[in-house]
């Protein structure tokens, strides 16, 4: 790949608009010049501890302004950050540290239990708490003034919803193009301020930090999502854009009651998983400006987003590929699908990963001629808008008909007494497979009642043959339904 050199993002931003607010966290505002000073100082401290350009180093941190400073210090030094998900177990985290050959782990006292546990299986790793890092001596750092856009900036492991997580390599160029694509779609004004209540360790949160630096835009960091806090921040900090997943949006919508979000709030970017239609309709009713989006760790955040002018006429669609990117749907013979025909979603563009860390075979299998096979199924309507159906691995085929669990789950949770739902296929002699559901309920409810409700909303073959009431739907750290765990649960239930 040709070298594409650019001034270090943070250096550039701090020289362009040093006095603009950059980060707001816990009642404190930091300007871009403050952010640079903090990151530069930390870069010096990391240098004194032995971190060097080109290394991979693990980072296990909470949502906090300090975490943003540390990530940016890594960028100043050209150290590749292996960004760890703090909701994972010590065992899972140690595996990712080993998989990425990271010799340093920057973490904090909050995660002492985990890091102590990790230490046992990582004898060669130097573990440093940020509290100690911030008290370390300062050695003049060698700052990467000019960076190569093809260089790896971050490694993020996929959520592991479908199997083992894979380390996704994200370059500086991937992050920049992702930020550009978003701005070209949503527009950008001097008033813009993005609320980050999603994890900074996830691409949804990290991409907000990158946008803040690239756009010169203020971001507000929330330590963890809380609907009331989020609504207050939108009001008080004049937040204009917020990233959410559907469980967060559900809570905001419920918390709002009869209230409306303030006029200045212009975009609720909804991604990360299927958007239940009932939720989208409720938000439309309350004039919450929801923009559905589709993306993944491999695309460095959104790659397909519904433009504002189509938010109502194409309700339920994830939109079209952003300006720098392309999208197509392929059917089983490798041909392009016809309009409204479902197939695998393939995406291409400068925001797509250069591959999986240490997994050349998997990379070659998943990325061909720049086209990434997403493993998701969807279709384009006759106007070219994408509708995401579900993951290919979760598809249920019943009597030759394709059934997408996410659609049935959406219907189940639209019932006021049902709080959560997960659907999988069960082997069936007559139909091959039939859908069955697991639900959690808010109020006592009979199975027949739920089935009756589904019969009113779904074609008969999609109605679950059996609905089990359980205490909790198994979800992973990214709050995604672990349908493979539901399958285990089903086997257990069947044996009884
Ligand atoms: P793994 O690849 O390890 O199984 P994962 O795919 O869950 O984990 P992420 O990269 O965090 O890890 O999630 C991306 C996935 O989330 C997409 O491939 C898709 O399945 C789902 N997703 C994202 N946006 C949407 C959307 N708008 N509608 C439906 N599904 C979505
Ligand atoms: Mg994935």
Instruction: Give 416-469 pLDDT, tens digit per residue.
Output: 999 999 999 999 999 999 999 999 999 999 999 999 999 999 999 999 999 999
d(CA 454, CA 446): 13
Judged against a pLDDT cut of 70, whether residue 495 lies above it is answered with no
Q: Quick one: pLDDT at residue 102? A: 97
Q: At 401, which helix (H) or strand (E)?
A: strand 401-403
d(CA 29, CA 430): 63
Tokens of 162: 């479908």
* % pLDDT > 70, the chain: 99
Q: Quick one: pLDDT at residue 405? A: 95
Q: Quick one: pLDDT at residue 215? A: 98
Q: Quick one: pLDDT at residue 494? A: 64
DSSP assignment of 349-392 equals STTS-SEETT-HHHHHHHEETTEEEEEEEEEE-TT--EEEEEEG
Provide the 8-state DSSP code for 289: -
What totals of helices (H) and strands (E) does the chain contain, helices first? 15, 28
Residue from 85, 272, 407 to probe ligand 1 pocket by mutation (most atoms less than 8 Å from CB): 272
Reported CATH class of domain 395-495:
alpha beta
Reported CATH class of domain 5-386:
alpha beta
Query: Mean pLDDT for the chain?
Result: 95
Q: Quick one: pLDDT at residue 476? A: 82
Ligand 1 within 6 A of CB of 158: yes
Q: Ligand 1 atom 11: the closest Cα is on which residue? A: 159
Ligand 1 within 6 A of CB of 318: yes
Judged against a pLDDT cut of 70, whether residue 366 lies above it is answered with yes
The angle at the Cα of 127, spanning 125 to 130, to the nearest 5 degrees, equals 155
227 contacts 251 by C-beta, under 8 angstroms: yes
Q: Are strands 241-244 and 193-196 parallel, antiparallel or unpaired?
A: parallel
Tokens of 246: 């559907």
418 contacts 381 by C-beta, under 8 angstroms: no
Q: pLDDT band at residue 307, thresholds of 50, 70 and 90?
A: confident
d(CA 55, CA 484): 35
Judged against a pLDDT cut of 60, whether residue 496 lies above it is answered with no
Ligand nearest to the CA of 295: 1
The structural domains of the chain, with segments of one domain joined by +, span 5-386, 395-495
* % pLDDT > 90, the chain: 90
Q: Quick one: pLDDT at residue 165? A: 87
User: Residue 272: what are its φ and ψ, rounded to 5°?
Assistant: 85, -20
3-class DSSP assignment, residue 134: coil
* CA 25 – ligand 2 centroid, Å: 31
Residue from 203, 294, 311 to probe ligand 1 pocket by mutation (most atoms less than 8 Å from CB): 294
Judged against a pLDDT cut of 80, whether residue 163 lies above it is answered with no
Tokens of 374: 């997403």
Nearest ligand 1 atom, CA 389: 29
402 contacts 423 by C-beta, under 8 angstroms: no
* CA 357 – ligand 2 centroid, Å: 14
Q: Quick one: pLDDT at residue 334? A: 86
Ligand 1 within 6 A of CB of 300: no
Judged against a pLDDT cut of 90, whether residue 275 lies above it is answered with no
Q: Quick one: pLDDT at residue 381? A: 98
d(CA 120, CA 70): 25
Q: Quick one: pLDDT at residue 333? A: 84
Judged against a pLDDT cut of 90, whether residue 252 lies above it is answered with yes
Q: Quick one: pLDDT at residue 164? A: 79
Q: Exposed, middle or buried: residue 475 (CB in 10 Å: 0-12, 13-18, 19+)?
A: middle
Reported as a single tens digit per residue, the pLDDT across 312-354 is 899 999 999 999 999 999 998 889 999 999 999 999 999 999 9
Ligand nearest to the CA of 302: 1
d(CA 104, CA 59): 8
Ligand 1 within 6 A of CB of 271: yes
415 contacts 453 by C-beta, under 8 angstroms: yes
* CA 170 – ligand 2 centroid, Å: 14
Tokens of 215: 């756009």
* CA 297 – ligand 1 centroid, Å: 8
Residue with tokens 């966290």: 25
The mean pLDDT value for 201-205 works out to 96
Residues with Cβ within 8 Å of 335's Cβ and at least 6 positions away in sequence, in order, are: none
186 contacts 179 by C-beta, under 8 angstroms: no
Reported as a single tens digit per residue, the pLDDT across 41-80 is 999 999 999 999 999 999 999 999 999 999 999 999 999 9
Q: Ligand 1 atom 22: the closest Cα is on which residue? A: 273
């Amino acid at each position: 790949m040709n070298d594409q050199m650019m001034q270090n993002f943070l250096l550039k931003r701090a020289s362009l608009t040093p006095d603009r607010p950059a980060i707001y966290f816990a009642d404190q505002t930091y300007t871009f010049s403050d952010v640079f000073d903090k990151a530069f100082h930390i870069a010096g401290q990391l240098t004194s501890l032995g971190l060097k350009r080109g290394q991979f180093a693990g980072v296990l941190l909470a949502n906090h302004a300090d975490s943003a400073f540390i990530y940016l210090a890594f960028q100043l030094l050209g150290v590749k950050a292996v960004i760890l998900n703090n909701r994972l177990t010590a065992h899972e985290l140690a595996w990712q540290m080993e998989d990425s050959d990271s010799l340093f782990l920057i973490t904090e006292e909050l995660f002492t239990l985990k890091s102590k546990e990790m230490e046992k299986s990582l004898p060669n790793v130097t573990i440093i708490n940020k509290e100690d890092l911030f008290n370390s001596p300062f050695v003049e750092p060698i700052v990467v003034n000019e960076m190569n856009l093809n260089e790896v900036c971050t490694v993020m492991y996929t959520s592991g919803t479908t199997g083992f997580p894979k380390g996704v390599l994200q370059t500086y160029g991937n992050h920049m193009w992702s930020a550009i694509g978003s701005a070209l779609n949503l527009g950008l004004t001097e008033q813009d301020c993005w609320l980050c209540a999603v994890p900074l360790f996830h691409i949804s949160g990290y991409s907000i930090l990158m946008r803040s630096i690239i756009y010169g835009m203020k971001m507000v960091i929330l330590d963890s999502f809380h609907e009331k806090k989020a609504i207050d921040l939108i009001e008080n900090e004049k937040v204009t854009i917020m990233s959410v997943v559907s469980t967060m949006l559900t809570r905001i919508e419920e918390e709002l009651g009869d209230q409306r979000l303030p006029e200045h709030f212009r975009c609720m970017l909804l991604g990360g998983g299927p958007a239940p239609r009932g939720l989208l309709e409720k938000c439309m009713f309350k004039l919450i400006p929801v923009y559905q989006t589709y993306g993944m760790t491999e695309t460095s955040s959104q790659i397909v987003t519904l433009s504002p002018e189509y938010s109502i006429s194409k309700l339920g669609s994830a939109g079209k590929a952003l300006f720098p990117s392309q999208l197509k749907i392929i059917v089983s013979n490798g041909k392009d699908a016809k309009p409204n025909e479902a197939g695998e979603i393939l995406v291409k563009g400068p925001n797509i990963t250069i591959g999986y860390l240490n997994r050349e075979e998997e990379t070659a299998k998943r990325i061909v001629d720049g086209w990434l096979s997403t493993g998701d199924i969807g279709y384009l309507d006759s106007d070219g808008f994408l509708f995401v159906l579900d993951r290919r691995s979760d598809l249920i085929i019943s009597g030759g008909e394709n059934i997408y669990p996410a659609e049935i789950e959406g219907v189940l949770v639209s019932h006021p007494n049902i709080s959560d739902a997960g659907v999988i296929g069960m082997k069936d002699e007559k139909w091959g497979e039939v859908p069955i559901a697991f639900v959690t309920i808010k109020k006592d409810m009979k199975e027949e009642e739920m089935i009756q409700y589904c019969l009113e909303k779904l074609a008969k073959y999609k109605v679950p043959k059996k609905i089990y009431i359980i205490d909790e739907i198994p979800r992973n750290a990214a709050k995604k339904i672990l349908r493979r765990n539901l399958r285990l649960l089903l086997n257990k239930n069947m044996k009884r």
